[in-house]
Chains A and B, each alone.
Chain A
Amino acid sequence: EDTYVIEVSPTGLARIPLALPTVTTDSSLSESFVEEFRQTLMEDFSFTGILHIIPRQAYLADPEKKDVDYEDWLFIGAEYLIRVHLSSTGDNLRAQVAIYDIALRRKQSSQTLQLPFDSYVLLAHQVAGHILYEVSGIEGFFDAQIAYTSDYGSQAGGAIKNIYTMDFDGSQRRNITRNDSININPFWHDNDKIAFTSYIRQRPEILLRELDTGRTALLAAFGGTNTGGVKSPDGKYIAVTASRNGISNIYLLHSDGRMYRQLTHHWSIDVTPAWSPDGRYIAFVSDRPGSPQIYKIELATDQITRITYDGRYNVSPAWSPDGSEIAYVSLEDNKFNIYIVQNDGYNPRRLTYNSGHNETPRWSRDGNYLLFNSNRSGEHKLYIMDRSGAFQKRLNDGPGNNTMPDWIFPKSQ
């Protein structure tokens, strides 16, 4: 395990100071349980880069007093006061969250979130997401599920790779493939289905694993090399890359795997399909200009337009949730870095600098954060960064080289 963590904290990024006093409870819950709940909130907030929790020692106001002493909180520089009250009712855990806007001297919101008691960690993540949204307008991502590829368990330089899933906070880590083959490139299809490329049948084919039943179906096995397996936003189609006689093209399958139609018809490499959120476009990588560049194809007209012109090697496109931008990876002096470009190809912006290779960007659901993998600490590990790239932090992912992450968020309640 590497020994240090580099946390690039934002310079000049305005951080929102919050006061988060001790979580209160009635007699139904123990002190340590309540303190652990607060600790989970603090841990989640540490992955945003924009929230600053004022240390409790600085708090002047009397925590027992019901009404809020705005002067006291203003004095220590808090912009918001967050009061969380936990209670267990029957077999449920309930969190009442009150948020006070100190400058405006008023209660901004109060909300009750409740889950079965044994999902208390998930409840903490949802409370943290609620607070983040209330004070910043940014949607929480702490309850996300992450799928990724790891070579953990394969001896050094060995080729064995398996697909793992974990919760955002690094808990519930499970390998969902356990074979001595190469399993890479996972894509979430639903909260319980993952498509991935596997060599289990001695050729790279796309399998679809149902997490709860453990069943694995063959999604694309068109001879040659099959990669991708990305579901369209409306769920009707799946975009894959298949090759014949060394020529890779992008195809659309029906959701059950039957061939629907061929999208690209070029002798070059066309690979890595990525849907636009409205389902009207697919971004992809093509080396038709002599080096890999990002293109997009409009499905209704088959019109293909090139997006990236800077740099000799641009791969791994990913549309932002509002469709306005595409994140991708560009190679410069043997190092990969993550960029964001407008969907018409104008003003590419670089996000990562001198931190090893940075690959496979994946947007959060409101486009304010990106999940990616980087080998800045030696082995490849999973990281999160905000869309400016100013804030980057490593997740609590497991041992081994962890790459090709994809994340999915619970269906909003």
Chain B
Amino acid sequence: CGPQQVAVDEPMVDEPAVSAEEERERDRYADDPYADDPYADDPYTVEDRERYAFNSPVLNRIYLDGSQMYTVHFDFDRSSIRSDARKILDNNVTFMERNPEVKIVIEGHCDERGSSDYNLALGDRRAQSVKDYLVTNGIDASRITTISYGKEKPADPRSNESAWQKNRRGEFVKKQ
């Protein structure tokens, strides 16, 4: 049969690719998770949590106690897992083990430098290398899908090194 028809414009109503709730969910991961500490009344005493404290080069002080998932970051034009990302991914594995019903989408992102299609391919490889890490650490592959947004969805739209570092990322988004 001929190529399948796709409705692209009005009157079709496009609900946003990411629902509002998911957007809020992602904000907690993407930006400074330390802002409103969701775990203030956590059963851990402060001292216990300190044991899990970690100074991420991008997210600053975070707590890798498996209570929430964090975004991981990459070097320029690389999809290999950095040492700081390894620690965060171990934490994210723990979270997923404790929450077996959770399914996630791993979004691969890049900074603004480079052509859009090269970055789409690079984002794809970043998301895949995060998925591979989780699967080799025991997370069932069926709980994980990947997608690349290349340089099209910057977490920080500015054009400087700190923005670029923030944008070279793999984000964990809970699937409904």
Contact = CB atoms under 8 A, between A and B. Distances in A.
Contact of B3 (A208, A227, A291): A208
Interface stretch (B28-36, B83-91, B123-131): B123-131
Contacts of B3: 208, 217-219, 256-257
Interface string A279-298: 00000010100011000000
Given A159-B149, A216-B5, A246 B114 contact: no
Nearest to A157: B157
Given A159-B153, A287-B77, A180 B14 contact: yes
B129 to A, nearest CB: 7
Given A159-B152, A179-B14, A181-B14, A241 B117 contact: yes
The 3 closest A-B pairs by CB, nearest first: A246-B128, A157-B157, A217-B3
Is the interface on chain B under 10, 10 to 19, 20 to 34, or 35 or more residues?
Answer: 35 or more
Contacts of A157: 154, 157
A225 B17 contact: no
B40 interface: no
A334 B164 CA distance: 11
A216 B152 contact: no
Nearest to A329: B115
Contacts of A209: 8
A200 interface: yes
A313 interface: yes
B43 interface: no
19 contacts: A178-B9, A179-B8, A179-B12, A179-B14, A182-B152, A184-B116, A214-B9, A225-B148, A227-B120, A243-B124, A256-B2, A269-B125, A271-B118, A271-B120, A272-B118, A291-B77, A292-B118, A316-B115, A403-B116
Interface residues of A, number: 60
Contacts of A199: 17
A129 interface: no
Interface string A181-196: 1101100000000000
A207 interface: yes
Contacts of A178: 9-10
A337 to B, nearest CB: 12
Nearest to B112: A357
B144 to A, nearest CB: 12
B124 A246 contact: yes
B20 interface: no
A227 B150 CA distance: 11
A224 B120 CA distance: 10
Contacts of A198: 8
Interface string A221-259: 000110110000000000001010111100000001100
Contacts of A245: 128
B71 interface: no
A201 interface: yes
A277 to B, nearest CB: 21
Contacts of A272: 115, 117-118
Contacts of A227: 116-117, 120-121
B6 interface: yes
Nearest to B76: A313
A269 B7 contact: no
A177 interface: yes
